[in-house]
Structure 1
Amino acid sequence: MDLLILGIVVLIYFLLTGYVGYVAWRRTETSEDYMVADRKAHPYIMAMSYGATFISTAAIVGFGGMAGVFGMGILWLVFLNILVGIFIAFVFFGKRTRKMGHNMSALTFPEFIGRRFRSRFLQYFGGAIIFLGMPLYASVVLIGAARFLETTVKIDFGIAFILIALIVAVYVVMGGIKGVMYTDALQGTIMFLGMIFLVVSTYYILGGVVEAHQALTGISNLIPAEAKAVGATGWTSMPVYGSPYWWTLLSTIILGVGVGVLAQPQLIVRFMTVKSNRELNRGVLIGALFIFVMTWSAYVVGALSNVYFFRKAGMIAVEAAGGNADKTIPVFINSAMPEWFSYIFMLTLLSAAMSTLSSQFHVQGTSIGRDVYETIMRRKGDRSVLITRVGIIIAILIAVVLGYILPGSIIAQGTALFFGICAASFLSVYAAALFWKRATREGAIAGMVSGALVSLFWLLFEYKKTAMALGVTRVIFGGPVISSMPWPVVDPILVGVPVSALMLVVVSLMTEPPSREHLDKCFNGIKGV
């Protein structure tokens, strides 16, 4: 790798990113600017920021690596990403969120929930969940980018990890949501072009679309024995119904992210940055095209990398990556693609990491500054921006520490787990806030708290991957988990969301409904209510 060319490419990229961040900083003057871009974001900026935040190195490196393990069955996630993450999110949830957020002058997602149900507790409890839970997601995104730099540029993993965190910290702390969204749009465009080239080149290298897929089907006999024992059947077929492999693919990887996206605070806040539904309508096509290209390309390339490595070295992808699925895509890029593309793809992954990280750190900062500090201390004003910036720095430090602790092949799992926790805690409450006027403050509190507690319990005592890693169950009960199949491989989202929804409905029906005056204020200007 030519370090001079690499240095020039990276310098130009960082200069562009720095300039965009500087422009955002110059245009950020108030708390509303810092948190929701003064509600005047352009539809392209909003849609690309939403997509670039959604699709990170976790999707490209982590889930691309998982596609190398699970095969084409993961493409069901592409379908859910577009149907749920774009169409339902923008058309049904986004429009009401935008209007109600404006009616209630809400600047963050927890504040939106808190004001809808007139509950300070919901605001600071929701903010605490975000601030404490999101470092897991942020750390795996950092890991994805650092792994690629480690594999491609031969930079020490720790140095790459810290460098990316510092760069993101500068423009997020200074520019707020405008700095995040402006750089997201630039980074999303780079990501889009890089992934198109990657998938086209992969098919070309493997002899075409039909031949590549037939070859992948033909090497199903190479599935490891331990994978076959738990339900794996091949890279172009679904696992055995009801097997541990099937449950992991369906509940954690597909449903955990495919449904959990609706309850992601860093994405929901994007709906409150535009001035009308017209911008959201325009954003649907932009967002859908972006999400399709990014996810479909990553998953197809990840699965087909098995064919490439079999032809070249007589081994499957995860073996070529040294047993760490998180290294599959970086190793494939370095081995199969021309050297100049490594430079371009490095920018693609840097863009993916930085766009998502910036949004994660921003929403963590606003959670601690606006939702926890202001709500508990009952202090409003520009001081919350200072607390937000301090919160961003603390969030970055936590993510960096976790990045050194977490095990290998964790990127996709870590992402799915955080999406599941958010869905269990927020999804039923968020949906009720938008669509069910009879939902009460007490019902919303019961729904959010029960969802969060059930998720925590499941991760500590029942979900095998996390329960075994944490070891709490073994200390208390003497075993890795507390029950038998299939529960140890069922993602928390499939338990937490139903419990949360049930508690919300039951408690709401048992308590006094909200006042008509308050509901009229919240739903003012929303059709069909």
Structure 2
Amino acid sequence: MIGIVFLSIFFALMIGIGIWGMRKTKTLGDFFLGGRNMGPWVSAVAYGTSYFSAVLFIGFAGTQGWQFGLNALWIALGNAVIGALGAWLILARRTRRMTQNLDTMTMPEFLQKRYGASHLKPIAATVIFFFLLPYSASVFKGLGHLFETVFGISYDLALILMIAFTGVYLILGGYFAVAVTDFIQGMIMFFGAIAMVAVLFGKGGGFTAVIEGIRENYPLHIPESQRPSILTIGSLVFMTSFGTWGLPQMAQKFYAIRNERVIPKAAVVTTIFAAVIGFSAYLVGISSHVFFTLETIPRDASGQILYDLIVPTLLTEHLPEALMALIMLLVLSASMSTLSSLVLVSSSAVAIDLIPIQIDEKTGKDRSVALMRFLSAVFIVISYLISRFQFSFIVTLMSLSWGAVSGAFAAPYIYGLFWKKCTKPAAYAGLISGLITEIILFFALGPAQSPLAASLAIIIPFGVVPAVSMFTKPPEQPLLDRAFEGL
């Protein structure tokens, strides 16, 4: 009952923000970037909430916590230092300046204008559409199963509720509503994560006692032959940390900041936020070695461990009802913020990158905002259908999505920001080599080695791009002068 009351208040607040955001959204720039007027706190928390979704709390924390033990904390450290602090300090200023110089709003637009490559935009937009949309469906899927487990409501009803409320505030208010709701959701995530660890570790006898229990029980639960190698741990840290640098929904946060003066403060806020969320999630997952035995760990009928149920079962068994309701809001917030960013970027791939801006000849109004709203609604419905029916082809795309998108964009995007000699053919080669590498290695190595496949898909284009640039025509000077003005 407490959870239902919390959810009702939460959803009412989200709808109110959506209506407020609608009044501030007049142009396509308003809808997609909030008018490039986001302050440091809102921008920082929006970055963090897009970074961490229910996949972290439900899937990653349970899976890596049980399999990796204390080594899972390296992932949290990498996410905070590389994925958050490094991204803001290295990419934010140049991304903000260059996208403004080139008058671009999306990653495909940036790549097209930075390299003078007319066909690069539709190719990049297609990659975003085919791989980020299934990724958004995976977020819905994890959230639906959590609500089914904790509240006892059906998976179908949980999906419909999540889609309806996410759709309302996103479609009405665009990026402004997303950013403001992200800030509120981020505060829920921040304090909920701290409370979750404090109460759970308190029941385990205190922080020191739980850590000692993990050290003692991990060798008993995971035989040495089944423990992850340094390569596996390193590739997962790299994929989830540096891999975010090439994701369009993360780079979008840099486009939207008010000015470059907000970057240092935003970098600090994002890093603290990422550290609290990441370490809290993995500490809970790792503590499963204290609260479960090999006999009591959740399993299916065949005896296989149900990793996605480790954290939900752990929390429902050991947290009081009021705190569990807050944790549900935490996971819901993480999912809705990630989902809204994914849908916004996916819809922009069509509304901005594939369809020319629509101006009404009679009124002179930009009809692209209406198109963005319509496509956001369509993509949310598609995400629901994917989550509901779990088409096998789409499930494969979900597993490929992170490595495919980051592998395709990271090298062309980062070289484009820093290296004037990077050429148009090199940008094409970088995008295509990253995408193909991910697809080939994913099937060659198998899903169990997907972090390694994704890491190699991100790394290889960083060698391909300079190699191709050495033997192809350099960019025209006027293009470079415009792109690098003030840098």
TM-score between the two structures when normalised by the length of structure 1: 0.85
Q: Which moved more, 1:508-517 or 1:389-398?
A: 389-398
Establish whether residue 455 from structure 1 lines up as the match of residue 453 from structure 2. no
Q: Could you say what the CA RMSD is over the residues aligned between the two structures, in angstroms?
A: 2.7
Cα distance in 1 between the residues matched to 2:9 and 2:304: 33
Alignment-derived partner of residue 162 in structure 1 = 160
Alignment-derived partner of residue 296 in structure 2 = 315
Alignment-derived partner of residue 189 in structure 1 = 187
Alignment of 1:51-450 (within 5 A): 51-66=48-63, 67-223=65-221, 228-229=224-225, 231-232=226-227, 239-241=228-230, 247=232, 249-251=233-235, 253-310=236-293, 314-316=295-297, 323-374=305-356, 382-404=366-388, 406=390, 417-450=400-433
Structure 1 residue 463 displacement after superposition: 3.0
Question: 1:83 is matched by which residue type in structure 2?
Answer: V
Cα distance in 2 between the residues matched to 1:453 and 1:392: 28
Q: Which moved more, 1:156-165 or 1:46-55?
A: 156-165
Establish whether residue 27 from structure 1 lines up as the match of residue 11 from structure 2. no
Question: 1:73 is matched by which residue type in structure 2?
Answer: N
Structure 1 residue 240 displacement after superposition: 4.4
Any idea what SS the aligned residue of 2:105 has? coil
Structure 1 residue 415 displacement after superposition: 7.5
Cα distance in 1 between the residues matched to 2:349 and 2:110: 12
Residue of 450, 469, 484 corresponding to 1:508 = 469
8 Å CA contact retained: 1:318, 1:328: no
Gaps of 5+ in 1: 233-238, 467-487
Cα distance in 1 between the residues matched to 2:159 and 2:93: 37
Cα distance in 2 between the residues matched to 1:498 and 1:358: 28
8 Å CA contact retained: 1:458, 1:492: yes
Structure 1 residue 86 displacement after superposition: 1.6
8 Å CA contact retained: 2:17, 2:180: yes
Aligned pair in 2 of structure 1 residues 424, 375: CA closer, same or farther (>3 Å)?
farther
Please give the per-residue CA displacement for 1:74-125, whole angstroms capped at 9, x wherever unaligned: 2111121122212221111111000001111111121111111112222111
Cα distance in 2 between the residues matched to 1:144 and 1:68: 18
Q: Which moved more, 1:509-518 or 1:90-99?
A: 509-518
Aligned pair in 2 of structure 1 residues 291, 416: CA closer, same or farther (>3 Å)?
farther
Structure 1 residue 295 displacement after superposition: 0.7
Please give the per-residue CA displacement for 1:276-301, whole angstroms capped at 9, x wherever unaligned: 21111110111111111101000011
Question: 1:443 is matched by which residue type in structure 2?
Answer: A
Question: 1:68 is matched by which residue type in structure 2?
Answer: W
Please give the per-residue CA displacement for 1:357-383, whole angstroms capped at 9, x wherever unaligned: 11110010111111122399xx99833
Aligned pair in 2 of structure 1 residues 318, 278: CA closer, same or farther (>3 Å)?
farther
Give aligned-pair identity as a percent.
28
Question: 1:154 is matched by which residue type in structure 2?
Answer: G
Structure 1 residue 495 displacement after superposition: 2.8
Cα distance in 2 between the residues matched to 1:494 and 1:191: 28
8 Å CA contact retained: 2:62, 2:311: yes
Establish whether residue 496 from structure 1 lines up as the match of residue 457 from structure 2. yes
TM-score between the two structures when normalised by the length of structure 2: 0.92
8 Å CA contact retained: 1:438, 1:514: yes
Please give the per-residue CA displacement for 1:146-199, whole angstroms capped at 9, x wherever unaligned: 222111110111210222012111221221111211111111111111101001
Alignment-derived partner of residue 484 in structure 1 = none
Aligned pair in 2 of structure 1 residues 60, 140: CA closer, same or farther (>3 Å)?
same
Aligned pair in 2 of structure 1 residues 141, 150: CA closer, same or farther (>3 Å)?
same
Residue of 17, 20, 23 corresponding to 2:14 = 17
Structure 1 residue 309 displacement after superposition: 2.3
Structure 1 residue 127 displacement after superposition: 1.1
Please give the per-residue CA displacement for 1:310-369, whole angstroms capped at 9, x wherever unaligned: 3xx953466899732112111111101011112111111111111111111001011111
8 Å CA contact retained: 1:10, 1:347: yes
8 Å CA contact retained: 1:147, 1:327: no
Cα distance in 1 between the residues matched to 2:246 and 2:212: 38
Aligned pair in 2 of structure 1 residues 384, 453: CA closer, same or farther (>3 Å)?
farther
Cα distance in 2 between the residues matched to 1:117 and 1:191: 39
Structure 1 residue 498 displacement after superposition: 3.5
